[in-house]
Amino acid sequence: MINYKSKIFIAGHKGMLGSAILRILKKKGYKNLLIIDKKKLDLRNQKSVKKYLQIKKPDAIIIAAAKVGGIKANVDYPASFIKDNLQIQTNLISSGYDTNVKKLILFGSSCIYPKDLKKPIKEHQILTGSLESTNESYSVAKIAGIKMIEAFNKQYKTNYICLMPCNLFGPNDNYDLKNSHFLPALIRKISVASKKNKIVKLWGTGRPLREILYVDEVAEACEYFLKKKTNTSLINIGSPVEMTIKDYALKVKKKIDSKVLIKFDNNIKLDGVKRKKLDISLAARYGWRAKMNFSKALDRTIEDFNNSLK
């Protein structure tokens, strides 16, 4: 199994999740961590990926690389989301097996599940209904990755897994207003409003519920399951925290500037799924639970945003 001396390739080490995984693994004493800039290795290129893995011969691969974004980005660039994500994960899973990788972890998100499920969502409910249309391309690509890993485990007896976290936030997040997820967008919009007219206009109604988890918690889960043999291919990584978008906005406002006035445009089309809550009992049975202090995690994230402006 994987240990502190194992050679581990982290794909997507500069992103929010990948950088957190790299940071946590270094902190825990892992010595042989492989990283490479995407300018030097295009993960969408099958030949390049296989050549890299043949040379480096990793024991494990962590797929934190992906094309991700918020609702608007998913709506505007569906072809890019499905094409890039299919290529990245297919190349790494297939070439990983061909080069004798012992352990592989693929990350996705809770949007892989149908939109109208009874909550909390269990892993076996995948493919039991229609997906949310606003991020269908990303979801379909990730579902294909999950099913590919299930097939490899069944046919080749591999121990590859998919960890599906809820909404993530934390250091090194994307604060771009067009492509970010909801919490970093709230941080930026409220911060900007604080310095201008003290009014922030937000998309949607503010009523949808969202479960949220600090990215370092997911990095801890990644390290935990790297060393764990599982009998299932798909495991939810969820959080004890769930609130409405409006509640999150008020929490951010209180941290940044209590004088900011929050207004929603009430465009229901930009609400997305009304609620996304994961059932995390399977991860708990394997011995992992989140330990997040949301207030402290939000403080660190806002500090990271402020540092990104310097």
Query: What separation in angstroms does the CA of 107 have from each of 68, 121, 218, 237, 260?
Result: 11, 17, 10, 10, 36
What's the rounded Cα separation, in Å, for the pair 142 and 80? 13
Query: Which one of the listed residues 30, 52, 113, 138 is annotated catalytic?
Result: 138
What's the rounded Cα separation, in Å, for the pair 14 and 38? 9
Which of these, 24, 119, 192, lies nearest to 184 by C-alpha position? 192
Which of these, 141, 297, 117, lies nearest to 219 by C-alpha position? 297
- 189 with 206: CB under 8 angstroms? no
Query: What separation in angstroms does the CA of 243 have from each of 84, 89, 247, 258?
Result: 32, 32, 6, 19
Residue 138 appears among annotated catalytic residues: yes
Which of these, 54, 47, 44, 46, lies nearest to 9 by C-alpha position? 54
Which residues participate in catalysis according to the annotation? 138
